Amino acid sequence: MEERANGIEVQGLVREYKKGPRAVDGIDITVAPGEIYGFLGPNGAGKSTTVHVLTTLLPPTAGTARVGGYDVVKEGPKVRAMIGVALQEAALDPLLTGRDHLRLQATLQGVRKDRRKVQADELLIRVGLEDAGDRKVSGYSGGMKRRLDLALALVHMPRILFLDEPTTGLDPQSRTALWEEVARLRREEGVTVFLTTQYLEEADVLADRVGIIDQGKLVAEGTPAELKAEIGRPSVHAIPRDEKDREKIAEFLALFGERLDTTRDVAVRLREGLGLTDIVRAVDANGVDIVDLELKAPSLDDVFLAKTGRTLEGATEEAEVEPAQKRGR
Amino acid sequence: MSSWPQVGAIARRSIVRTARQPASVIPPLIFPVALMTVNAAGLQASTDLPGFPTDSFLAFALAVPFIQGALFSTMNAGTDLARDVQTGFINRLALTALRDWALLVGQLSGVVVLGIVQAVFYLAVGIASGVDFASGPAGVALLLFYASVVSLSFGALGAWLALRLGSGESIQAMFPVLFVFLFISSMNTPRDLIDVEWFQTAATLNPVSYMIEAVRSLIIEGWNGQALALGFGFTLVIGIVSIALASSALRTRMTRT
């Protein structure tokens, strides 16, 4: 096969569902070969729809997308040969073993017969399932299923990997193991990774660049450091000793910056030129009774808040409540 | 890249899945034989009717398990495929280099293999019960071939229902409907001896009657060209129409650019 750069180029991509919302609303993305691109957004933002379009499972309504140099509409089979995909729901057959899955996937992907067994063994070891490979998937934990799903995506040694919320529902240990494997794939094999997530930490730790999507639109894009630098100023978070002093402390802190909408504590984004020491001195001088005072560097959640007016957590909750309300009607 | 290894892999999966579900393997073997045994015991007196083609009701009824077993496996194959749609496994397949036709052929090959296993079991039960095959060893071979064609046709019907409905529960709900076709056929009485007019008409219009009669002819008559032609003819028509419908439904279900 002709050697192609394993990047992704998306221009003006739109995907509209019949009688439904515009799930993806004109996004432009460029992912460089060998880059890990984090696609961050709450539930229902359009992340999975974008992945479905880029992996040829859904045709776009408008716009163009090239994956590995191939057009996703006109050259679907060539795109599929280049990519490995782990979709949001790890669709596995509970009656097959991990090894059965790998053998099936390898055959369907055209891996040479003499390589299939070796490949399956290597991948089972790589994802830490060598002891569970001959067990039926019905007995696997959520983390084991995710790891098998990743192994299946890698069976034909793809140059581009799409991971749709790969760590949702995983315990911290499994999550870290998966992050390490994804980082290794990029580092040692030059694989390009398009990763969707609703976890800020995941995007922060893993991604070279992050795109933030909300209601189908790309609202921000850059390296995590660049995005945080756009916000610039840190925030100060205080926890009152007595809950009834909350409003009083909020008014006091408002002297140092604009108030942030938080539920756990009282917080302000500091004005330019102010630091924690300024607040500590003022707290001391005014006898304000607080149990904890913390200075937080800007996070990707702050970026999301600045771009959309909502926290990522809040947006996710809204997205979860909205369909439930619609169902209730 | 050749698609035949893909066909083999899908067929293997279909067989392995079924083999690992005793509830899918045992009922299609046991229930038709149990029904045949009960009917043979209770309806032996029917053989005294003038014009009844044999004096062994067991030999007469042995044709039924072949068709009833195929109906069972249709449901199982359909339910498995519908589950693939429900769980998103079909998306996993769509993301590989698998060709649409290879999925359908692979899936149906698995159904055919299981259909032949069932047919061998029914044959063994018949022979062990003392049934003589009037058509001899060549007839037994043709019977096994016919069983594979019936499995293919009914399997395609199950695949179409699965891809169209996309839900295992809906497939299960269709089971009684298909069973009605079995019971309003000539399964227990030759068509010309059915006394109730509407029943005789229904059995005459019902293609399942001709499928049973084709098998029955090999067991109790020998070589009856008309019965075989009608049986094969109806089975092939059902198969061709079902395969066409299933292929179309698969293209819709396995959407990919």
Q: Does B97 touch chain A (CB under 8 A)?
A: yes
Encode pLDDT of A174-208 as tens digits. 888 889 999 999 999 999 999 998 888 888 889 99
Chain B residues with CB inside 8 Å of A152's CB? 92
Chain B residues with CB inside 8 Å of A103's CB? 9
Q: What is the pLDDT of residue B170?
A: 86
Q: Does B183 touch chain A (CB under 8 A)?
A: no
CB environment A59-75: b (16+ within 10 A), e (fewer): ebeebebbbbbbebbeb
A210 confidence band (pLDDT: 50, 70, 90): very high
Say yes or no for a CB contact (<8 Å) between A89 and B98.
no
Q: What is the pLDDT of residue A296?
A: 83
Residue A221: pLDDT above 60? yes
Say yes or no for a CB contact (<8 Å) between B9 and A107.
yes
3-state secondary structure of A86: strand
The 8-class DSSP code of residue A18 comes to T
Residue span of the structural domain in which A279 resides: 233-297
The residue of chain B with its CA nearest to that of A162 is B95
3-state secondary structure of A221: strand
Encode pLDDT of A18-35 as tens digits. 877 789 999 999 999 999
The residue of chain B with its CA nearest to that of A75 is B257
Facing residues of A236 across strands?
A268, A295
Cα B150 from Cα A180, distance rounded (Å): 52
Q: Give which of B7, B93, B256 to mutate to test A binding, by max A Cβ within 10 Å.
A: B256
Encode pLDDT of B24-45 as tens digits. 888 889 999 999 999 998 999 9
- Judge whether B130 and B37 are in contact, CB under 8 Å: no
What tokens does B241 get? Answer: 């129409």
Give this prediction's pTM: 0.83
Q: Is A26 left (phi over 0), alpha (psi -120 to 50) or beta?
A: left
Chain B segment 3-32 residues within 8 A of A by beta carbon are 5-6, 8-10, 12-13, 16-17, 20-21
A308 confidence band (pLDDT: 50, 70, 90): confident
Chain A residues with CB inside 8 Å of B255's CB? 57-59
Cα A99 from Cα A155, distance rounded (Å): 12
Residues A201 and A259 in one domain: no
Cα B142 from Cα B149, distance rounded (Å): 10
For helices B207-216 and B225-253, what crossing angle results, to 10°? Answer: 130
Q: What is the pLDDT of residue A289?
A: 82
Asked, for residue A306, whether it belongs to a domain, the answer is no
Say yes or no for a CB contact (<8 Å) between B96 and A93.
no
Kindly report the average pLDDT of chain A as a whole number: 87
What tokens does B130 get? Answer: 């003392």
Q: How many CB atoms lie within 10 A of CB A301?
A: 18
> What residues of chain B score a pLDDT lower than 70?
1
Chain B residues with CB inside 8 Å of A136's CB? 20
Q: What is the pLDDT of residue A313?
A: 67
Residues A201 and A69 in one domain: yes
What are the structural domain ranges in chain B?
Answer: 4-253
Asked, for residue A1, whether it belongs to a domain, the answer is no
Q: What is the pLDDT of residue A326?
A: 45
Which residues lie below 8 Å from residue B154, measured CB to CB, with a gap of 6+?
Answer: B70, B71, B73, B74, B111, B238, B242
Q: What is the pLDDT of residue A314?
A: 63
Asked, for residue A326, whether it belongs to a domain, the answer is no
Residues A216 and A97 in one domain: yes
Q: What is the pLDDT of residue A37?
A: 97
Asked, for residue A319, whether it belongs to a domain, the answer is no
User: If residue A148 lies in a helix (H) or strand (E), which one and from where to where?
Assistant: helix A142-153
CATH number at residue A44: 3.40.50.300
Which residues lie below 8 Å from residue A240, measured CB to CB, with a gap of 6+?
Answer: A246, A249, A266, A289, A290, A291
Residue A265: pLDDT above 90? no
Residues A21 and A166 in one domain: yes
Strands A83-86, A160-164: pairing is parallel
Residues A177 and A208 in one domain: yes
Residues A199 and A130 in one domain: yes
Chain B residues with CB inside 8 Å of A74's CB? 257
How close, in Å, is residue B87 to chain A by CA atoms? 6
- The ipTM of this complex is 0.86
How many residues can be counted in chain A? 329
Asked, for residue A216, whether it belongs to a domain, the answer is yes
Q: What is the pLDDT of residue A274?
A: 82
3-state secondary structure of B54: coil
Asked, for residue A104, whether it belongs to a domain, the answer is yes
Residues A62 and A135 in one domain: yes
Residues A103 and A64 in one domain: yes
What value does the mean pLDDT take over residues A233-243?
Answer: 85
3-state secondary structure of A100: helix
Q: Does A59 touch chain B (CB under 8 A)?
A: yes
Residues A145 and A47 in one domain: yes
The 8-class DSSP code of residue A136 comes to B
User: Where among A212, A228, A244 does a domain terminate?
Assistant: A228
User: In total, how many domains does chain A have?
Assistant: 2
3-state secondary structure of A235: strand
CATH number at residue A262: 3.30.70.980
Residues A22 and A57 in one domain: yes
- Among the partner-chain residues A55, A87, A110, the one whose CB lies closest to the CB of B88 is A87
Residues A100 and A237 in one domain: no
Q: Does B255 touch chain A (CB under 8 A)?
A: yes
How close, in Å, is residue A240 to chain B by CA atoms? 49
Residues A40 and A69 in one domain: yes
- Judge whether A182 and A206 are in contact, CB under 8 Å: yes
